[in-house]
């Protein structure tokens, strides 16, 4: 585990912007930027911490954690479905094959939980018993495990995602029935594999999302990210049963405290400028990301030397820039 002192010494060594790279067709996302090289994509996971549709802070090593957790699980699931990874030339970078993306996010849930308006628990507590085509029994309580994991697809839209059932996906002509069956089979197997690895490392994979596409050869391909702390919810396995029986929230390695700090110190949705996140909170958040990496993968986190991250990227991606 990397010490807080090392994290503090890297507070000014974060990757917030990628426009300095000599690569074409930059597209900026909330956390990840991409460059389109024509036949492939260069996906760079930055250290930006996003919430409230704003960038709250830059967190040392966050981008490396997310990229390397995905790299780990892409490797661990290759026998289930091919993935888009061509190369990982830098801890923050994945070179990926281009795919035609299915316009659906495949959200898998092992437990009924959540607090947002679209969460399974909020819908259930409001009286819903059919969630995306999954008929649930009466009498469930928050954070209870489903008898079997459920798939709750959402459409991918610019303004907001829409929950949808498998039947609607097919009836609307979004994905044909035969292809849908193949995709559903894949994501259930991915979730089972992720749950198995998480359990081995003392964690519960509560829920997650997958994205899939078709490559140039027509093969179904896993893309985007997989089982990262930003795309998945994890709980600590050892204390789950005890806390659930006592009606307490499950224990997790929570990243919510930074969002709460901003809520307490400003109006993060409407203030034109946000206060700077305290260094001690950013340091703690980085430490939690690193701890999650080590728990999720069962591997020790290794930082990439002392070179400034921008210089490291220029060096590691120089062969791509030269093409």
Q: How many percent of the chain have pLDDT more than 70?
A: 98
CB atoms within 10 A of CB 147: 9
Has residue 2 got a pLDDT over 80? yes
Has residue 160 got a pLDDT over 80? no
Q: Are 190 and 226 in contact (CB under 8 A)?
A: yes
Model confidence band, residue 304 (pLDDT cutoffs 50, 70, 90): confident
12 DSSP 8-state letter: T
Q: How many percent of the chain have pLDDT more than 90?
A: 89
Model confidence band, residue 189 (pLDDT cutoffs 50, 70, 90): very high
Domain with CATH 3.30.470.20 in the chain: 102-245
pLDDT of residue 322: 60
Residues in contact with 171: Cβ distance below 8 Å, sequence separation at least 6, in sequence order: none
Residue (of 100, 222, 102) closest to 173 by Cα position: 102
For residue 101, CA distances in Å to 98, 116, 215, 218, 271 come to 9, 26, 9, 12, 36
Has residue 257 got a pLDDT over 90? no
What CATH fold (topology level) applies to the domain 102-245? D-amino Acid Aminotransferase; Chain A, domain 1 (3.30.470)
Residues in contact with 34: Cβ distance below 8 Å, sequence separation at least 6, in sequence order: 26, 27, 41, 42, 43, 44
Average pLDDT, the chain: 95
Q: Tell me the pTM.
A: 0.94
Domain with CATH 3.30.200.20 in the chain: 4-99+279-321
Tens-digit pLDDT profile for residues 86-110: 999 999 999 999 999 999 999 999 9
pLDDT of residue 116: 81
Model confidence band, residue 138 (pLDDT cutoffs 50, 70, 90): very high
Lowest mean pLDDT, pick from 72-81, 144-153, 174-183, 248-257: 248-257
pLDDT of residue 254: 80
Tens-digit pLDDT profile for residues 107-123: 999 999 998 888 999 99
CA distance 139 to 73: 35
Has residue 323 got a pLDDT over 90? no
Has residue 302 got a pLDDT over 80? yes
Has residue 33 got a pLDDT over 80? yes
Residue (of 202, 204, 201, 223) closest to 212 by Cα position: 223
| Strand 40-45 versus strand 220-223 pairing type | unpaired
CB atoms within 10 A of CB 70: 24
Lowest mean pLDDT, pick from 150-159, 240-249, 306-315: 150-159
What is the mean predicted confidence (pLDDT) over 145-168?
90
302 DSSP 8-state letter: -
pLDDT of residue 147: 97
Tens-digit pLDDT profile for residues 283-299: 999 999 999 999 999 99
pLDDT of residue 260: 87
Model confidence band, residue 305 (pLDDT cutoffs 50, 70, 90): confident
Residues in contact with 112: Cβ distance below 8 Å, sequence separation at least 6, in sequence order: 120, 121, 124, 136, 140, 142, 143, 144, 146
Arch. (CATH architecture) of 4-99+279-321: 2-Layer Sandwich (3.30)
């Amino acid at each position: 585990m990397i010490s807080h002192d090392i994290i503090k010494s890297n507070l000014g060594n974060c990757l917030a912007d990628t426009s300095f790279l000599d690569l074409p067709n930059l597209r900026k996302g909330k956390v990840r930027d991409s460059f389109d090289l024509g036949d492939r994509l260069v996906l760079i996971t930055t250290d930006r911490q996003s919430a409230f549709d704003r960038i709250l802070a830059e967190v040392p090593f966050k981008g490396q954690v997310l990229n390397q957790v995905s790299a780990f699980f892409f490797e661990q699931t290759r026998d289930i479905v091919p993935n888009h990874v061509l190369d990982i030339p830098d801890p923050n970078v994945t070179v990926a094959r281009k795919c035609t993306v299915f316009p659906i996010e495949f959200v898998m849930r092992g437990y009924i939980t959540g607090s947002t308006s679209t969460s399974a628990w909020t819908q259930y507590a409001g009286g819903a018993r059919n969630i995306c085509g999954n008929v649930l029994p009466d009498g469930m309580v928050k954070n209870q495990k489903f008898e079997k994991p459920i798939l709750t697809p959402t459409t991918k839209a610019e303004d907001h995602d829409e929950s949808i059932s498998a039947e609607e996906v097919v009836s609307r002509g979004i994905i044909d029935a035969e292809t849908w069956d193949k995709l559903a089979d894949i994501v259930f197997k991915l979730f089972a594999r992720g749950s198995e690895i998480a359990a081995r490392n003392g964690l519960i994979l509560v829920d997650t999302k997958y994205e899939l596409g078709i490559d140039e050869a027509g093969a179904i391909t896993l893309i985007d990210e997989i089982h990262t702390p930003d795309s998945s919810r994890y709980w600590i396995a050892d204390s789950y049963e005890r806390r659930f029986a006592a009606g307490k929230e499950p224990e997790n390695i929570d990243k919510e405290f930074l969002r709460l700090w901003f809520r307490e110190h400003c109006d993060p949705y409407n203030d034109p400028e946000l206060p700077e996140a305290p260094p001690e909170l950013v340091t703690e958040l980085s430490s939690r990301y690193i701890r999650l990496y080590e728990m999720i993968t069962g591997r020790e986190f290794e930082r990439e030397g002392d070179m400034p991250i921008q210089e490291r990227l220029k060096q590691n991606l120089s062969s791509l820039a030269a093409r």
